[in-house]
Amino acid sequence: MFISGVRVRKAVQQSLKPGQYDEDRFDRSKRIGWIDMDSLSEARCLVVGAGALGNEVVKDLVLSGFRNITIVDMDRVVRSNLNRCIFFREEDSRSGLPKAEILAGRARTLDSAISVKHIVSRIEDLDDALLKSFSIAFGCLDNVAARLHLNAHTFHLGIPYIDGGTNGMAGRVQVITPPNSPCLQCGMNRTHYKIMDDRHSCTGNEVSYYQPMMPAEITTTSVVAAIEVREALKIVSGKRDDCIRHVMHYNGMTNRCEVFELSVDPLCPMHPAAIV
């Protein structure tokens, strides 16, 4: 039967309700054809570090459609966190509550349907039985030893790991997808090992190593965290080939991003097949 264009338009108009698409929280994301919203909702995300990067990464994860998030951090909120941590408030710096607990609670205010858990602990104190339950991990740390620990365990377990870091107006993101990509340890240099050696050269509970605080500000943090989560969208949606292949460096003064090649280190213990 022939149906005129007018009749077709009327039929479509009758089937749609005003504002119908606006009722779907993720309607605009679904319009990006390759994003797999079902896979996002099923992914189990581990966010290690609940400071500035952790705040931004968790925010972006929730708003992007990830539904299962676990946050690990051992520290408590201090006043100097407040200029770059979107979920922390003045009263938090006086409450003595852990960063991970506060971040998890405030993240739930963005979407009541999500599951956000928190663990107040060093990442080094978690066992593989817990780590192996995650499908993707995010490093939001300023501690070299903790980052290497997370890198080693996620690589061993075959879990994609996205590592982010900032230093003032500069930032970096590395995407590690086992078993073939270069890992965090592949890019370690003497300076990194010197920092680790200094921190672990003393023994005894009464001695601590003082490391000067790194400069930080929110715009760089936001950019780096956004790139971390964008790479996770690609991984979870089956677009690994479009991820950062080596190490991306961001320069906030020039607004330039550059990807620098990083090869697998033949002496890296994470890549035994490469050892010669």
pLDDT surpasses 90 at 87:
yes
Nearest to 60 by CA among 172, 221, 256: 221
Q: Which residue has the tokens 């292949």?
A: 245
pLDDT: which is higher, 53 or 12: 53
Burial class (CB in 10 A: 0-12, 13-18, 19+), 39: middle
The band of 4, judged by pLDDT with boundaries at 50, 70 and 90, is: low
**Which residues are bridge partners to 170 per DSSP?**
167, 251
Sheet holding 44-48, edge to edge: 115-120, 68-73, 44-48, 136-139, 161-167, 170-176, 247-251, 256-260
pLDDT surpasses 80 at 5:
no
pLDDT surpasses 80 at 78:
yes
Determine the average pLDDT of the residues in 112-119: 97
pLDDT: which is higher, 18 or 195: 18
Q: What is the mean pLDDT of the chain?
A: 88
Nearest to 99 by CA among 123, 70, 120, 122: 120
Q: Report whether 245 contacts 262 (CB < 8 A).
A: no
pLDDT surpasses 60 at 8:
no
pLDDT surpasses 60 at 209:
no
pLDDT surpasses 70 at 11:
no
**Which residues are bridge partners to 120 per DSSP?**
73
Burial class (CB in 10 A: 0-12, 13-18, 19+), 213: exposed
CA 68 to chain CA mean position, Å: 13
The vertex-246 CA angle with 214 and 30, nearest 5°, equals 95
Distance CA 24, CA 196 (A): 48
pTM, two decimals, is: 0.87
The band of 54, judged by pLDDT with boundaries at 50, 70 and 90, is: very high
Terminal CA-CA length for the chain: 73
- Assigned superfamily of 33-274: NAD(P)-binding Rossmann-like Domain (3.40.50.720)
Domain parsing of the chain, residue ranges: 33-274
pLDDT surpasses 50 at 199:
no
pLDDT: which is higher, 88 or 273: 88
pLDDT surpasses 50 at 69:
yes
* 3 state SS for 231-269: HHHHHHCCCHHHCCCCEEEEECCCCEEEEECCCCCCCCC
What is the tens place of the pLDDT at every residue in 254-268? 999 999 999 999 889
> Which pLDDT value is given to residue 188?
85
What residues have CB less than 8 Å from 107, skipping those under 6 apart?
Answer: 58, 59, 62, 69, 71, 87, 114, 116
